[in-house]
C-alpha cells in the first residue's frame, strides 16, 4: 500500500510534503505500531496468560478429565519433579482418582431422578422467567425511549438499582418478603382480598418466588441494553413508516423489531446462560425446597461436590450443563440471527 | 383528528402509569429492607406488619455484631474486592494494550481463544479450583479468592476495544520524544483511557463484592468470611433473626449504591461496550 502510494505520487510528481502525508496515511490504515523491542507484546500479555492458563484453562480441561473418574481422596503422590540447578520444584497430583469411564454420564442420563428434577426446575425458571423479563424489559425500554418522557435518567437509575444489590443481599430480602407468615407480600394480598399464598411452602409457589426475584434483579440491566439498542435505530425509518400510514404496532413490528434483533438476541442468550447458572437464590430463599422442588442444576453440583464429596460425579454434571447451555445458545443464535 | 389527539394523550398517560408502577415495584423490596432493619425483632411478628421505619437500628446492629463479626467481614470484602480490582485492571489493560496497539505473531488466534472462554460458566471451574487450592494449601487465604478470576476475559475484551481508539500518532510522537516502550503504556495509554478503566473497575468490583459460590467453597473459616458469606451464615442458623439479617443486608448494599449512583454513567458504559459493540 505504501509502495503504490509512493509510485503514484512520484508519477504525478507531487511535492515531498504530500508524499510524507500519504505514507503517514497508509500507515495509519494498518493501525498498529511496531515495537522497538522485539517480543515486547508478549511481555505485556504473558502475566494475563499465566493466570489464565493456571486458573481457567487447566481447570476447564481438568473438569472434563475428572468426569471420567471417581474421587477417592486427596493424594500425596508426586506427579512431576523439575530440577533447575539448586531449585527443585515438585508438582503433586491434585487428587486420588479411580477410572470409571462413562458410567457417571450413564447414571446421570438414565437413572438419577434428582438430577432430572434439578434440570426440570432450572428449565421451568428459564421458560417462565426469560420470556417474562425480556418482554417486560423491552416494554420498559420502549417507553423510556419515547420523546415525551421526562426525567428519563432518574427512571433508568431507579429501575437499574437492583443490579447493584448483591446476590445474597437481594435473596435475603426476598426470603423475608415472601415469608408465608410474616411476609409483606402475603399481607398486601390479604389487604386486597386474596387469601395468603404458600410462597415458600409449596412447590409452585417457591418456583414462582424465584422467578419473581430473578426478574426483579435483572430487569433494569436488560432494559439498559435494550434501550441502547433502540437508540441506534435510525429516525428516518420511523418517518418513512409514518408517511406510509403505519400504526404504532406496525412501526414496532416492521421497523423496531428487525432493527434491534442483534441486541435482543444478546439479551436472550445472556439471560439463558444466567438462568442455567442460578445458585444463590434457591440456596438462600428456598434452600432447594420444599422437598427439592426448587433445587437447580448448579445447586445439585454444589451438593454432590462439597457436601457428599462426589467430585467426579459433580464434574460430569458440570460438563453436561455446559453442553446443554451451549446447545441452547447455538439454537437461539441460529434461529434468531437471520430472517 | 380530535380522537387521535385523545389517543396520544391516553398513550402518554399509560406510559407514565407503567413506569411509575414499575418503579414502585422495584423500590418496595429496598424500602422493606430499611423498615425491617430499623424495628425491633418483637415487632416483626405483629400483624399487620409495620410499614414505617423505626429507630431501633443501632440495637439491631449491636445484636448482629455480637452474633457474627460483621465489621470484620466488611473489612475482608473491601480488601479482597479492592486488590482484585487493581490486579485485574493491570493485567487486562496491559494485555488489552498489546492486543490493540501492537502487531505480533498469533495475535488474532490468541485473542479469539480468550473470547471463546467467555461462554464457560464459572461453575465448571469450581471443583478443580477447589482441589488445586486445597493442594497448594491456600484454603482460607485471600489469594485463593483474588488470583483465579483476575485474568478476566471480559476485561481484556473491553480494554482492547477501547484502546483501539488511542491514536497511533500520539504513541509515535511520545516515542520520538524519548519515551520508553513501557512509558507508552502507563504514561500515555492509561491516562487517556481513564473513563473505560473506571467502567471496567466498577464491573470487576461489583463482581467480586457480590461473589458467593466460589468464596463459599474456598473460605471456610468465619474469620475470613466476606459479606455474602456472613449474610448466608445468618440465614442458615436455626432461629432466623430477620432484624439482624436486614441490618446486615442494608449495610452490604449501601456502599454499592453510593458507588453505583455516583458512577452510573461509567457502569452503563461498561455493560454496553460489553454488550452492544460489534
Q: Is B260 on the interface with A (CB under 8 A)?
A: yes
Q: Do B22 and A302 touch (CB under 8 A)?
A: no
Are residues B249 and A172, on separate chains, in Cβ contact within 8 Å?
yes
Contact B127, A311 (CB under 8 A): yes
Tally A–B CB contacts below 8 A: 290
pLDDT greater than 60 at residue B263: yes
Task: State mean pLDDT over B193-220.
Answer: 89
Q: Which of A51, A66, A220 sits opposite B128 (nearest CB)?
A: A66
In chain B, residues with a C-beta closer than 8 Å to the C-beta of A51 are 91, 147-148, 150-151
For residue A147, the SS3 value is coil
Using DSSP's 3-state secondary structure scheme, residue A179 falls into coil
Q: Write the Ramachandran bin of A101: left for phi over 0, alpha for psi from -120 to 50, otherwise beta.
A: left
pLDDT tens per residue, range B141-163: 999 999 988 998 889 988 988 88
Model pTM above 0.95? no
pLDDT at B278 over 50: no
Chain A interface disruption, residue of B92, B151, B164, most A CBs within 10 A: B151
- Interface mutation target, options B18, B43, B124, B168, chain A, most CBs of A under 10 Å: B124
Q: Which of residues 243-282 of A touch B (CB under 8 A)?
A: 248, 262-263, 266, 270, 273, 276-277, 279-280
Q: Tell me how far apart the alpha carbons of residues B260 and B267 are, in angstroms, rounded to a whole number.
A: 7
Contacts of B198 (CB under 8 A, 6+ apart): B263, B266
Convert the pLDDT of each residue in B58-69 to its tens digit: 888 888 888 888
pLDDT in tens, B12-64: 899 999 999 999 999 999 998 888 888 887 777 666 667 788 787 888 888 88
Query: Which set of grid coordinates corresponds to residue B11?
Result: 398513550
Strand A96-99 relative to strand A69-73, pairing: antiparallel
Can you give the pLDDT at residue B87?
Answer: 95
Question: In chain A, positions 98-127, which contact chain B (CB-CB < 8 Å)?
Answer: none
Would you call B185 an interface residue with chain A, using a CB distance cutoff of 8 Å? yes
Cβ pair B234, B245 in contact under 8 A: yes
Q: What is the ipTM of this complex?
A: 0.87
- Spell out which residues of chain A touch residue B129, defining contact as CB-CB under 8 Å: 55, 59
Measured between CA atoms, how close is A76 to chain B, in angstroms? 9
Q: Which of B3, B37, B41, B126 to mutate to test the interface with A (most CBs of A within 10 A)?
A: B126
Which residues from A are below 8 Å from B104, CB to CB? 41-42
pLDDT band at B271 (very low <50, low <70, confident <90, very high): confident
Backbone dihedral region for residue A34 (phi beyond 0: left; psi -120 to 50: alpha; all else: beta): beta
Q: How far is CA B247 from the centre of its chain?
A: 21
A174 touches chain B (CB under 8 A): yes
Identify all chain A residues contacting B122, using CB atoms and an 8 Å cutoff.
277
Tell me how far apart the alpha carbons of residues A59 and A49 are, in angstroms, rounded to a whole number: 14
Which chain B residue is nearest to residue A310, measuring alpha carbons? Answer: B127
**Residue B124 touches partner A, C-beta closer than 8 Å:** yes
Q: Which residue has the cell 427512571?
A: A155
Q: For residue A314, give the nearest of B49, B103, B127 by CB distance.
A: B127
| Contact between A228 and B272 using a beta-carbon 8 Å cutoff | yes
* A94 closest CB neighbour out of B103, B131, B276: B131
Under an 8 A CB cutoff, do A48 and B16 touch? Answer: no
Which residue of A36, A118, A169 to mutate against B (max B Cβ within 10 Å)?
Answer: A169
Compare B118 and B209 and report the one with higher pLDDT.
B209
Question: A168–B126: do the CB atoms touch at under 8 Å?
Answer: no
3-state secondary structure (DSSP) of residue B162:
helix
**C-alpha torsion sign, points A199, A205, A209, A210:** positive
Could you report the average pLDDT of every consecutive run of 10 residues in chain A (339 residues)?
46 52 52 66 89 90 89 73 75 76 88 92 93 94 88 88 86 88 84 85 90 93 91 86 85 88 89 89 85 90 90 92 88 76
Interface of A with B in 29-68 (CB under 8 A): 30-37, 40-42, 44-45, 47-52, 55-60, 62-63, 66
Q: Does B95 touch chain A (CB under 8 A)?
A: yes
Dist CA B163 CA A277 (whole Å): 32
pLDDT given for residue A338 in this prediction: 60
**CA nearest neighbour of B74 among B218, B263, B250:** B250
State percent of chain B over pLDDT 70. Answer: 94
Amino acid at each position: 500500500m505504501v509502495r503504490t502510494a509512493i509510485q503514484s505520487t512520484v508519477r504525478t510528481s507531487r511535492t515531498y510534503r504530500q508524499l510524507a502525508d500519504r505514507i503517514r496515511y497508509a500507515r495509519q490504515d494498518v493501525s498498529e505500531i511496531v515495537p522497538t523491542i522485539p517480543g515486547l507484546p508478549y511481555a505485556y500479555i504473558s502475566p494475563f496468560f499465566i493466570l489464565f492458563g493456571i486458573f481457567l484453562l487447566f481447570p476447564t480441561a481438568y473438569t472434563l478429565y475428572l468426569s471420567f473418574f471417581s474421587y477417592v481422596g486427596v493424594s500425596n503422590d508426586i506427579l512431576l519433579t523439575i530440577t533447575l540447578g539448586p531449585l527443585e520444584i515438585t508438582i503433586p497430583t491434585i487428587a486420588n482418582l479411580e477410572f470409571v469411564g462413562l458410567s457417571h454420564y450413564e447414571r446421570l442420563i438414565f437413572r438419577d431422578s434428582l438430577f432430572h428434577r434439578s434440570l426440570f426446575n432450572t428449565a421451568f425458571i428459564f421458560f417462565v422467567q426469560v420470556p417474562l423479563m425480556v418482554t417486560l424489559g423491552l416494554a420498559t425500554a420502549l417507553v423510556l425511549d419515547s420523546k415525551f418522557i421526562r426525567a428519563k435518567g432518574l427512571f433508568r437509575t431507579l429501575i437499574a438499582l437492583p443490579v447493584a444489590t448483591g446476590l445474597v443481599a437481594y435473596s435475603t430480602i426476598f426470603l423475608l418478603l415472601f415469608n408465608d407468615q410474616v411476609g409483606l407480600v402475603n399481607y398486601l394480598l390479604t389487604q386486597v382480598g386474596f387469601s395468603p399464598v404458600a410462597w415458600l411452602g409449596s412447590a409452585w409457589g417457591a418456583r414462582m418466588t424465584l422467578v419473581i426475584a430473578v426478574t426483579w434483579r435483572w430487569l433494569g440491566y436488560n432494559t439498559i441494553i435494550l434501550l441502547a439498542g433502540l437508540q441506534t435505530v435510525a429516525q428516518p425509518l420511523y418517518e418513512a413508516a409514518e408517511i406510509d400510514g403505519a400504526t404504532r404496532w406496525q412501526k414496532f413490528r416492521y421497523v423496531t423489531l428487525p432493527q434491534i434483533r442483534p441486541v435482543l438476541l444478546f439479551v436472550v442468550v445472556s439471560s439463558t446462560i444466567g438462568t442455567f447458572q442460578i445458585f444463590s437464590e434457591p440456596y438462600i430463599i428456598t434452600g432447594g425446597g420444599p422437598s427439592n422442588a426448587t433445587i437447580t442444576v448448579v445447586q445439585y453440583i454444589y451438593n454432590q461436590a462439597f457436601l457428599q464429596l462426589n467430585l467426579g460425579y459433580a464434574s460430569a454434571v458440570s460438563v453436561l450443563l455446559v453442553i446443554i447451555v451451549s446447545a441452547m445458545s447455538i439454537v437461539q443464535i441460529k434461529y434468531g440471527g437471520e430472517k | 383528528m380530535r380522537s387521535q389527539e385523545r389517543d396520544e394523550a391516553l398513550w402518554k398517560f399509560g406510559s407514565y402509569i407503567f413506569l411509575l408502577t414499575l418503579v414502585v415495584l422495584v423500590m418496595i423490596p429496598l424500602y422493606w429492607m430499611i423498615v425491617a432493619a430499623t424495628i425491633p425483632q418483637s415487632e416483626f411478628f405483629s400483624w399487620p406488619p409495620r410499614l414505617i421505619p423505626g429507630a431501633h437500628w443501632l440495637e439491631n446492629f449491636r445484636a448482629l455484631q455480637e452474633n457474627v463479626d460483621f465489621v470484620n467481614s466488611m473489612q475482608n470484602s473491601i480488601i479482597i474486592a479492592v486488590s482484585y480490582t487493581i490486579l485485574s485492571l493491570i493485567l487486562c489493560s496491559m494485555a488489552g494494550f498489546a492486543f490493540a496497539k501492537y502487531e505480533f505473531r498469533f495475535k488474532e488466534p490468541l485473542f479469539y481463544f480468550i473470547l471463546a472462554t467467555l461462554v464457560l460458566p464459572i461453575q465448571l471451574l469450581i471443583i478443580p479450583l477447589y482441589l488445586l487450592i486445597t493442594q497448594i494449601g491456600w484454603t482460607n487465604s485471600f489469594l485463593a479468592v483474588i488470583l483465579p478470576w483476575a485474568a478476566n476475559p471480559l476485561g481484556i475484551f473491553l480494554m482492547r476495544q477501547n484502546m483501539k481508539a488511542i491514536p497511533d500518532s500520539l504513541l509515535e510522537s511520545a516515542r520520538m520524544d524519548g519515551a520508553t516502550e513501557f512509558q507508552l503504556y502507563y504514561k500515555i495509554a492509561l491516562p487517556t483511557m481513564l473513563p473505560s478503566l473506571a467502567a471496567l473497575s466498577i464491573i470487576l468490583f461489583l463482581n467480586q463484592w457480590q461473589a458467593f459460590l466460589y468464596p463459599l467453597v474456598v473460605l471456610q473459616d468465619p474469620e475470613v468470611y466476606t459479606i455474602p458469606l456472613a449474610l448466608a451464615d445468618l440465614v442458615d442458623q436455626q432461629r432466623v433473626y430477620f432484624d439482624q439479617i436486614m441490618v446486615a443486608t442494608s449495610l452490604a448494599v449501601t456502599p454499592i449504591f453510593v458507588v453505583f449512583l455516583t458512577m452510573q454513567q461509567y457502569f452503563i458504559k461498561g455493560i454496553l461496550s460489553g454488550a452492544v459493540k460489534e
